[in-house]
Amino acid sequence: MTNAAPVAKSVKQAKSEKKLGLVGELVEIVKTVVYALLIALVLRVLLFQPYTIPSASDEPNLYRGDYIIVTKWSYGWSRHSIPFSPPLFSGRLLFQPPKRGDIIVFKLPSSGHVDFIKRLIGLPGDHIQLKSGQLYINDKPVAEKPLGMALGDLPSGWQPVKMQQETNPEGRSYKIQVSPGFESAGDTGVYVVPPHCYFMMGDNRDNSLDSRFDPGLSPDDPKLGGCGWNSGLDEKVGDQAGVGFVPEENLVGRAALILLSWNTGVDEQHPGGASIFKPWTWFTDARPNRFLKVLH
């Protein structure tokens, strides 16, 4: 009987140590997860961010289902580099001006939170216009080279489109596609790009709501960041809401690489193909010919 108390005490101590051991393991797991999330957040804010292309507005260079990598350091950092765009500071840190022809992810001015992706066409001070589908920059036509016909995703569905190589004044070349008949904003007024603002267009010229279209806000709305809109431009293209000019602060990063790509259906109205809930489609609907494709 004299050993009962020490034995009971030893059992109680062992249980306590086991409980502390479990708590310690749980704490270590939580710390590891928190550290991993912090590292991922830092990488996402400062270096790279992945995006999935949801629409056809940038065909023939980006297709629905492309999984792209965006470099966050290309133009410096703004509050829009951080998830949810908290108003921690204004302007840009370590700003590097974007180059004409870059494919850029930016925050839609009218919302400040929705991500858009388009090609940079107009720099601050530029005069931009389209005449019969031909792009003019500062009163000079941008060089075009016909590349034949193909099928493209237009507002009315998949239709024949003209493939063209466009070469901007800086000598950068890229493919665009236009409808041989229907033209969405193919004849416009002259857009004068305000200071610290940019003019963006989709490469699928007849299926892209971009800087040719009114942002849907009053010219002095603070969301426009000083990139006010001349409503007289709407007479040529209609008053449907688009992007308008993009403030410098709204730039998020440069699209650099198509990492992976999957078929995600015929168009936005008929989704299909690869699905996260159908693991076999990750292989059957993959588009390996688009993997690791550098964007120009």
pLDDT of 39 above 90: no
Q: Look up the pTM and report it.
A: 0.87
pLDDT band at 40; cut points 50, 70, 90: confident
Nearest-5° Cα angle at 246, 211 to 50: 100
- Mean pLDDT value of segment 160-181: 96
pLDDT band at 69; cut points 50, 70, 90: very high
Query: Considering the chain, what percentage of its residues have pLDDT values greater than 90?
Result: 68
pLDDT of 19 above 70: no
- Which of 57, 110, 208, 211 is the catalytic position? 57
- Which of 110, 118, 179, 184 is the catalytic position? 118
* Closest-CA residue to 137 (of 105, 108, 166): 166
pLDDT band at 17; cut points 50, 70, 90: low
Q: Kindly give, in sequence order, each residue whose CB lies less than 8 Å from that of residue 123, ignoring residues fewer than 6 positions away.
A: 97, 100, 193, 198, 199
Active site residue 118: yes
Active site residue 10: no
